[in-house]
Amino acid sequence: MKWAMVSTWKMSRDGQLKAAELLEKGASADEAAIIAAEVIESNPAYTSVGYGGLPDNRGRVTLDAGFMNGDTLKFGAVGCVEGFKSPIRIARKLAENEFNNFLVGRGAEEYALKNGFEQWNNLTEESYARYLKEKDNTGKLKSYDGHDTVCYVVRDVNGTVCTAVTTSGLFMKEHGRIGDSPLAGCGYYADSQFGGAGCTGVGEDIIRGTVAYKAVSKLSDGKSAQQAADETLAEIMTRIPDCRSVSFVLLDKDGNFGVGTNCDFPFVYGSDEDGIRLYLAEYRDGKTAIRLIEDDECELD
Ligand code: ASP
What's the pLDDT score for residue 143? 47
Mean pLDDT of 231-241: 98
pLDDT single digits (tens) 246-266: 999 999 999 999 999 999 999
Q: Is 148 in the pocket of ligand 1 (CB under 6 A)?
A: yes
Q: Is the CB of 271 under 6 A from ligand 1?
A: no
| Contact residues for 138 (Cβ-Cβ < 8 A; gap 6+) | 57, 172
From 268, 262, 46, 255, select the one nearest 149 (Cα to Cα): 46
pLDDT band at 290 (very low <50, low <70, confident <90, very high): very high
How many of the other CB atoms lie within 10 Å of CB of 274?
Answer: 12
Averaged confidence pLDDT in the chain? 94
Average pLDDT over residues 53-63: 94
The pLDDT score that the predictor gives to residue 301 is 74
pLDDT of residue 254: 97
pLDDT at position 80 is 98
Does 222 have pLDDT greater than 90?
Answer: no
Shortest-distance Cα residue to atom 5 of ligand 1: 169
Which of left, alpha, beta for 26 (phi over 0: left; psi -120 to 50: alpha)?
left
Mutate to test the pocket of ligand 1, among 145, 167, 245 (most ligand atoms within 8 A of CB): 167
Whole-angstrom distance between the N-terminal and C-terminal Cα of the chain?
A: 28
In this prediction, residue 138 has a pLDDT band, given cuts at 50, 70 and 90, of: low
Give the SS3 label for residue 118: coil
Residues 76, 103: Cα–Cα separation, whole Å:
9
- Per-residue pLDDT reduced to its tens digit, 210-219: 999 999 999 9
Give the integer Cα–Cα distance in Å for 174 and 181: 16
Closest-lying ligand 1 atom to the alpha carbon of residue 245: 8
Mean pLDDT of 161-179: 95
Residue 141 has pLDDT above 60, yes or no: no
Find, among 181, 232, 233, 229, the residue nearest to 207 by Cα: 181
Residue 221 has pLDDT above 90, yes or no: no
Q: Which atom of ligand 1 is nearest to the CA of 168?
A: 9
Write down the pLDDT at residue 140: 58
Which H or E run contains 248? strand 246-252
Q: Which residues contact 26 (CB under 8 A, 6 or more apart)?
A: 157
* pLDDT greater than 60 at residue 74: yes
For ligand 1, is residue 167 a contact (CB within 6 Å)? yes
Domains by residue range for the chain, with CATH: 4-297 (3.60.20.30)
Q: Could you tell which of 62, 145, 202, 236 is best to mutate to test the pocket of ligand 1, judged by most ligand atoms within 8 Å of the CB?
A: 202
CB of 179 shorter than 6 A to ligand 1: yes
For the stretch 3-16, pLDDT in tens is 999 999 999 999 99
Tell me the per-residue pLDDT of 85-103, one tens digit each, with 9 for 90 and over.
Answer: 999 999 999 999 999 999 9
Angle at 34 between CA 261 and CA 17, to 5 degrees: 75
Radius of gyration from C-alpha coordinates of the chain = 18
Residue 203 is classified by DSSP as H
Can you give the pLDDT at residue 93?
98
- Which residue from 129, 170, 173 is spatially nearest to 148, judged by alpha carbons? 170
Number of C-beta neighbours around residue 257 at 10 A: 26
